[in-house]
Amino acid sequence: MALIKININGKDRSVDVAPDMPLLWVLRDVLDLTGSKFGCGIGACGACTVLVDGNEQQSCQLPVSQIGHKKVTTIEGLSKDGNHPLQKAWIEHDVPQCGYCQAGQIMAAAALLKKNPHPTDADIDDVFAGHICRCGTYQRIREAIKAASGSAK
């Protein structure tokens, strides 16, 4: 165990955990931020996606000791009141079914729009080839990203 400092959703947190513990389990078991989901444990499904310094990161693949001073944003910290353009578009386009993968999908979309405010279908395909939705909400994910890309900063 080791005391490790990390910045999550703008707050400095100190966690006493095994240095190799992936960020996902720090978030879920230690910090009670359960919005990031466990889906595969090998970075293959995207359910655990968070932002690290604004970039898409599968949190099941990032040992907590490697985060350093980088800033982590989870679904809980994406916006103050759930009013990020992507969150609003997700509701309006009724994207979720079971909803389990959707935090990861939204965070991946947030990283995409940050880099590329007006993504083409091919840009969306590139990112979302690494995200599984077992309910098959793909078409609405695409629609919601396109709707939000008009207003996302």
Pick the binder of another protein from 33, 48, 51, 147 (CB under 8 A).
33
Nearest 5°: CA angle at 44, between 111 and 140? Answer: 55
Binding of residue 34 to another protein (CB under 8 A):
yes
Tokens, residue 92? 């309006």
- Binding-site size for another protein (CB under 8 A) equals 62
Binding of residue 66 to another protein (CB under 8 A):
no
Closer Cβ to another protein, 69 or 83, answer by number:
83
The structure tokens 């994406």 sit at 78
Binding of residue 56 to another protein (CB under 8 A):
no
The structure tokens 């279908």 sit at 121
Task: Sort 71 into a burial class: Cβ within 10 Å, 0-12 / 13-18 / 19+.
Answer: middle
Binding of residue 76 to another protein (CB under 8 A):
yes
The structure tokens 């490697």 sit at 66
Q: Is 81 helix (H, G, I), strand (E, B) or coil?
A: coil
Instruction: Quote the least distance from Cβ 21 to another protein, whole Å.
Output: 4
Tokens, residue 75? 């679904």
Tokens, residue 73? 């944003």
Quick check: 18 and 30 in contact, CB under 8 A? no
Instruction: Quote the least distance from Cβ 117 to another protein, whole Å.
Output: 19
Binding of residue 152 to another protein (CB under 8 A):
no
Task: Enumerate residues 87-146 that contact another protein by CB under 8 A.
Answer: 87, 90-92, 94-103, 106, 124-126, 128-142
Pick the binder of another protein from 4, 39, 119, 147 (CB under 8 A).
39
Amino acid type, 126: D
Binding-site ranges for another protein (CB under 8 A): 1, 17-18, 20-22, 25, 28-30, 32-42, 44-45, 47, 74-76, 78, 82, 87, 90-92, 94-103, 106, 124-126, 128-142
